[in-house]
Amino acid sequence: MEMPRVIFIEDEQCLRETYDITLKRAYGENRAFNFEFYSNPDEAVAEIRKFPFNVAIVFMDHHFRTDSDKLVLGSSYIKEIKKLNHHIEVIMISGDNSNESLQLWLKNGADKFIYKDSDSNLTKIQIFMNQALTTFNAKFGKILGNKRNATHAISESIRKLKIVSVAPQMETVAQLVLQSSKSNHSILLIGDTGTGKELIARAAHENSNRSKGVFKTIDCTQFKNSQIIQSELFGSEKGAFTGAEHKVGLLELASGGTLFIDEAHHLDSSAQAMFLRFLQERKVRRVGGSAETMVDVRLIFAAKPLLKEMVEKNEFLPDLYYRMNEIKIEIPSLKDREGDVEALCY
């Protein structure tokens, strides 16, 4: 198979040139993948259609102008690209951060998004690109080779996660976790109950530059009262609500380390709004308080696959979902992990 392809569809020539020069300099001429740059989506889709199975990731601009000056939305091409090969990841790149656009991207099948005006624009491009390439290589068997069915053949990457697995899918997860550990971006772990999300979150912390800091956890299903969840996360001032005492929240307590928010789809609307504000400003305001405190904490969220449906039904804030989803890692169920039942019983 030919080398995997990384495709940029961007109508601003200066941005195409910036991506081209910066990324080629970062990865060198001996990289094991190809960059391709297109000024309009029609041309790009035509090229993808010729051989779609070696396309790992597509970075898509939000707006395009046709020769007749008609406005075309890049997101309207996502479904067409996914029909050619549903494994292709599509990342929207835009300066538009409205909820309407986010919901449209999600509805059309976008995997993630990047704000054009963000200082970490190129950093995120590299992170998403590395993730997609790792997943692409794993899907085509370039990682495990003939170790696929050997119950004793637990790879070094998986050993670093401190889990037992010989499944090809978990090798992909391990590679993504170890790559993600090198950044401070939020991680979203998607998986059913019992798939090891907390173990993987702890591994991401222990393999990061925050490993000497604390690792705190909260299970959002343990607190049925939304005010108590907010108090646990953000802290509270005495009298803020019935029974409230002065309390330092987990976000502050985990400063310098990592906070793992399990079952994040159980966050109510007010807690979602507080989290969104925190991810935008990195400041904590305790429930019932007015003072704000800067907090340096890495967030790892875990949720069931139904989270995406909740966003589509307006039960979960789209902007929060995308900010949680800076790095998404899907963890397969045990029944889908080849050889793992035997390995766990070994």
Are 15 and 73 in the same domain? yes
The total of other beta-carbon atoms located within 10 Å of residue 118's CB is 13
Domain boundary among 139, 170, 201: 139
Domain of residue 184, CATH code: 3.40.50.300
252 vs 246: CA distance, rounded Å: 13
Judge whether 259 lies within some domain.
yes
Would you say the C-alpha torsion 279, 88, 159, 30 has a positive or negative sign? negative
User: Taking a C-beta distance cutoff of 8 angstroms, is the pair 236, 286 a contact?
Assistant: yes
Are 203 and 324 in the same domain? yes
Tell me what pLDDT residue 140 has.
60
Judge whether 194 lies within some domain.
yes
Are 223 and 133 in the same domain? no
Judge whether 148 lies within some domain.
no
Domain boundary among 86, 108, 139: 139
Condensed to tens digits (0 to 9), the pLDDT of residues 296-317 reads 999 999 999 999 899 988 899 9
Tell me what pLDDT residue 206 has.
92
Are 310 and 178 in the same domain? yes
Helix, strand, coil percentages for the chain (3-state, nearest 5): 45, 20, 35
Are 292 and 202 in the same domain? yes
Q: Structural domain of residue 231, as residue ranges?
A: 160-345
C-alpha closest to that of 311 among 105, 15, 89: 105
Tokens, residue 125: 């491009």
C-alpha closest to that of 271 among 314, 232, 310: 232
Tell me what pLDDT residue 190 has.
94
Domain boundary among 80, 109, 139: 139
Condensed to tens digits (0 to 9), the pLDDT of residues 149-202 reads 444 455 777 777 777 666 777 788 888 888 888 788 899 999 988 788 998 999
Tell me what pLDDT residue 245 has.
78
Tell me what pLDDT residue 256 has.
95
Tokens, residue 118: 């963000």
Query: Residue ranges of the chain with pLDDT lower than 50?
Result: 1, 141-152, 343, 346
Are 120 and 164 in the same domain? no
Are 210 and 332 in the same domain? yes
Domain of residue 82, CATH code: 3.40.50.2300
Are 101 and 173 in the same domain? no
Are 82 and 119 in the same domain? yes
Are 232 and 188 in the same domain? yes
Judge whether 206 lies within some domain.
yes
Phi, psi of 328 (to 5 degrees): -110, 130
Are 176 and 325 in the same domain? yes
User: Taking a C-beta distance cutoff of 8 angstroms, is the pair 35, 20 a contact?
Assistant: yes
Number of domains into which the chain is organized: 2
Are 62 and 182 in the same domain? no
Tell me what pLDDT residue 82 has.
92
